[in-house]
Structure 1
Amino acid sequence: MSKINESMLVSEILDLDPDVSKIFLRNGLNCLGCPGAAAESIREAAEGHGLDLKALLADLDDYLDKL
Structure 2
Amino acid sequence: MSVDEIMRTWPATISVFLKNHMQCVGCPLATFHTAVDAAKEHDMRLSQLLDDLDWAIDEAEDG
TM-score tier (shorter)? 0.7 to 0.9
Unaligned runs of 5+ in 1: 1-7
Q: Aligned partners of 1:25 and 1:15: how far apart in 2?
A: 15
Choose between structure 1 and 2: higher helix proportion. 2
The count of residues paired between Structure 1 and Structure 2 equals 60
Other-structure match for 1:42? 35
Structure 1 vs Structure 2 CA RMSD? 1.2
Supply the AA of the counterpart residue of 1:42.
A
Normalising by structure 2, report the TM-score: 0.81
Normalising by structure 1, report the TM-score: 0.77
Unaligned runs of 5+ in 2: none
Paired residue secondary structure (2:54): helix
Q: Aligned partners of 2:56 and 2:24: how far apart in 1?
A: 20
Runs of 4 or more, structure 1, over 3 Å off, are none
Percentage of pairs with the same residue: 38
Other-structure match for 1:24? 17
